[in-house]
Structure 1
Amino acid sequence: MEHLVSMKDLTVEEIMLILDRAAIFKRLGFRELPGTYTVCNLFFEPSTRTKTSFEMAERKIGAQIIPFETSFSSTLKGETLYDTIRTLEAIGLDALVIRHPSDGFYEELIDRTNVAIINAGDGSGQHPTQSLLDLFTIQEEFGSFEGLKVLIAGDISHSRVARSNAEALQKLGAEVTFLCPPEWAGEFESVDNWDEVIETSDVVMLLRVQHERHNTEMAYTKAAYHEQYGLTVERAGRMKSEAIIMHPAPVNRDVEIADCLIESPQSRIFKQVENGVYIRAAVLELILKGRK
């Protein structure tokens, strides 16, 4: 695997290879890669979980992290992203982890540079390592994906998580349903009534309302959105006893999910964060080992 930019590019075999390697890391502990590898994390959008998770994974496998602060980079002087990447390649970086507000930012890079590109989120496009950690969390719970009913509820059209997970889960045999206001469905078919899906879903995945990507003011108050489209306590009480609750975070408490459900017995929200380190270590190992 030379790059990781989209779940569309991964075969089922490649997905399972990453999940299996993450499981080994989780069960047996991390192993440092032989040799010296240098990685740089370029985050042009805010991030807590993804950025720190990558940094922890990089340290766990023994990679050297070259600091990069976007707020002090030459992009503020008008340098293109391509020129920034070529500069870092010339310096000798092995891999770049990039989050960028532009959909498909990587398309102009991967065929024009020899440094490995890992997409840490592009606009409303893809978020492959988030999808992989979600898959890993689901696999730990259910053992397989075939026939699982996964409900993804929230700001679907603006969500790279929804798009990445839909690709992967359907490829692995799960049935994916989207729930959102009709105007937020984008290219996906969706429902807008919890009664149709809450009692049959194995996984209920909530998504944050991404106000920063909306061109108009939100038509719902927080309370109104929670009442109509959020996972309320009453709705959670109708879930299967073995069903799980997921959220890529950050969480808006009492908007997409009731506050008391975030750390409830059925919630796997913080388990997802934990699993992100194992998944990102597995991705980095596969990509870096292929370079030398």
Structure 2
Amino acid sequence: NTFEIAAKRTSANIINVDLANSATKKNESLLDTMHTLKAMQIDMFVIRHNQSGLPHHVAENLQGVAILNAGDGINAHPTQALLDMLTIRQHKQNFENLSVAIIGDIVHSRVAHSDIQALKTLGTKDIRLIAPAGLQYDSDRCASVQCFDDIQAGLKDCDVVMVLRLQKERMLEADIPNEQEYFDNYGLTAERLTLAKPDAIVMHPGPINRGVEIDSSVADGDQSVILQQVTNGIAVRMAVMEILAGKS
């Protein structure tokens, strides 16, 4: 867990709370559990939960303690977006002139949602979302980006290629694509990567499903910055914790 590693490197004392086996199992509300923990002089809560909006709800109802959203349902993953932007900045001169392609399960991905918001904030105008119809944004959300169902058209002359895994745990069983068929149509292969610019970087938030959304030759290739993302993730999360703790 990168959040735990980051916290330990800031010399924080860590308490892992398994909500499934905590007092909430005895019908105590989540907020009551959080208030109880706060009374134990907890300084910060790092919250990862499958309920979208939960960290915001806690922050609105629990004063005087820092709340860090470590990913909430399909809603947002703010620190992933920060580390992704740092990784891009380490390879590219600016964001304004970039063409960024995001391939995969867009609609269920909190990473996609946060990355799109971050890219727009930093001035990126050419954001391309590549996905089959069932995993793509609707027409309203596609109004401010470019949406493609053809991976070859979407990848053409891109500077950054972000690959997302299929969020099977968030799909109805009938909506889960056949993995081989998905790879044949949307998997990032070395051949398809040649459609992007020669110096394009390949990103993935992990975990990687090789042979489903990305070929091993690309994940391990010279254009991959996936492990650099992991390294940056520790530093970014340490920085966020230090700022929230008022130490920076």
Pair in the same fold by TM > 0.5: yes
Cα offset for 1:71?
4.1
Cα offset for 1:78?
2.1
Paired amino acid for 1:193: D
Is 1:154 the counterpart of 2:104 in the alignment? yes
| CA–CA separation in structure 2 for the residues paired with 1:156 and 1:203 | 16
User: Which of the numbers 98, 103, 106 marks the counterpart of 2:52?
Assistant: 103
Paired amino acid for 2:48: R
Is 1:136 the counterpart of 2:86 in the alignment? yes
Q: Secondary structure of 2:69's match? A: strand
| CA–CA separation in structure 2 for the residues paired with 1:219 and 1:212 | 9
* 1:7-18 paired onto structure 2 within 5 Å: none
Q: Which residue of 2 aligns with 1:230?
A: 187
| CA–CA separation in structure 2 for the residues paired with 1:93 and 1:266 | 42
Is 1:123 the counterpart of 2:73 in the alignment? yes
Cα offset for 1:221?
1.6
| CA–CA separation in structure 2 for the residues paired with 1:98 and 1:260 | 35
Spell out, residue by residue over 1:96-147, the C-alpha distance to the aligned partner (whole angstroms, 9 max, x if none): 1010011101232212212111000000000000110100100111132111
Cα offset for 1:193?
0.7
Conserved in 1, the CA contact under 8 Å of 2:157 and 2:195? Answer: no
* 1:48-63 paired onto structure 2 within 5 Å: 52-63=1-12
More displaced stretch, 267-276 vs 231-240: 231-240
Q: 1:162 to 1:82 in 2, by over 3 A?
A: same
Runs of 4+ deviating beyond 4 Å: none
Tell me the TM-score normalized by structure 1: 0.78
| CA–CA separation in structure 2 for the residues paired with 1:67 and 1:218 | 34
Q: Which has the higher contact order (CA 8 A, sep 6+)?
A: 1
Cα offset for 1:290?
6.2
Q: Which residue of 2 aligns with 1:75?
A: 24
Paired amino acid for 2:166: V
Paired amino acid for 1:172: L
Spell out, residue by residue over 1:189-211, the C-alpha distance to the aligned partner (whole angstroms, 9 max, x if none): 22111222323111100111011
Spell out, residue by residue over 1:6-35, the C-alpha distance to the aligned partner (whole angstroms, 9 max, x if none): xxxxxxxxxxxxxxxxxxxxxxxxxxxxxx
Q: Which residue of 2 aligns with 1:199?
A: 156
| CA–CA separation in structure 2 for the residues paired with 1:199 and 1:108 | 41
Is 1:92 the counterpart of 2:41 in the alignment? yes
Conserved in 2, the CA contact under 8 Å of 1:149 and 1:203? Answer: yes
Paired amino acid for 1:232: T
Paired amino acid for 1:86: H
Quote the sequence identity (%): 41
Paired amino acid for 2:60: D
Q: Which residue of 2 aligns with 1:168?
A: 118
Paired amino acid for 1:182: A
Conserved in 1, the CA contact under 8 Å of 2:100 and 2:161? Answer: yes
Give me the CA root mean square deviation: 1.6
Cα offset for 1:64?
1.5
Q: Which residue of 2 aligns with 1:261?
A: 218
Question: How many residue pairs align between the two structures?
Answer: 240
Cα offset for 1:216?
3.5
Q: Secondary structure of 1:155's match? A: coil
Is 1:180 the counterpart of 2:131 in the alignment? yes
Paired amino acid for 2:93: G
| CA–CA separation in structure 2 for the residues paired with 1:248 and 1:140 | 17
Conserved in 1, the CA contact under 8 Å of 2:42 and 2:65? Answer: yes
Spell out, residue by residue over 1:243-262, the C-alpha distance to the aligned partner (whole angstroms, 9 max, x if none): 00000011111111012211
